[in-house]
Amino acid sequence: MIETYTEFLKSISDYLIKGIFLSILLIIFIKLISKKKIETVLSTKIVKWVIIIYSFGVLINTILMFIFPPTEKYAFLERATGPYWWAYWLMLSMNSIIPLILLNNKIGKNIYFLLIISLLMNIGWLFESIA
C-alpha cells in the first residue's frame, strides 16, 4: 500500500512539480510583457495549492515510512542515516517543509516567492536522485 502511494507521489512529481517552475516563469513573463493589466491571482492560487498539497503528501509519505517500513530491508533508515544523509534530509526539507511557508497568505500571494519555492523544490528533486 505504501509503495502504491509512493509511486503516486512520484508520478505527481514527474508531471506537475517539475513543470511548476516553468509555469511560474511563464506567468511572470506574460505579466511583464502584456500591455494590459492581466490578473494572475487565480493562477498563482492554483500553483500555490498544488505545491502545498504535494508537500503534505510527501510529509504523510515520510511519516508512513517511519511507521510501516517499506518491503526493502531498512531502505528508508539507510537513506536517512547512510553516507548521503545530508542529501536525503535536504531533499526532504526542500520538498515538504519549506513549501509549507506558502500557508502564510502574504507570502503565498507573491509570485516571485512562489518561483523561489518551486526552484527549491526542483533542487530537492535533484537531491532525490542522489539519495
The predicted-structure confidence for 96-106, as pLDDT tens digits, reads as follows: 889 999 999 89
Q: What is the pLDDT of residue 103?
A: 92
Tracing cell 518491503 back to the chain, one arrives at 71
Candidates 36, 119, 130, 28; CA nearest to 85 is 130
Q: What is the pLDDT of residue 17?
A: 80
Helix (H, G, I), strand (E, B) or coil at 81: helix
When pLDDT is averaged across residues 4-25 and rounded to a whole number, the result is 82
When pLDDT is averaged across residues 107-130 and rounded to a whole number, the result is 84
Confidence of residue 116 (pLDDT cuts 50, 70, 90): very high
Q: What is the pLDDT of residue 71?
A: 63
Contact present, 23 and 47 (Cβ < 8 Å): yes
The number of domains in the chain is 1
When pLDDT is averaged across residues 28-34 and rounded to a whole number, the result is 87
Tracing cell 535533484 back to the chain, one arrives at 126
Q: How far is CA 32 from the centre of its chain?
A: 26
| Each residue's pLDDT tens digit, 37-94 | 778 888 889 889 999 998 898 888 888 877 776 666 566 677 778 887 888 888 888 8
**DSSP per-residue string spanning 23-84:** HHHHHHHHHHH-SS----HHHHHHHHHHHHHHHHHHHHHHHHHHHS--SSTTHHHHHHHSTT
Give residue 9's domain range: 2-130
pTM > 0.85: no
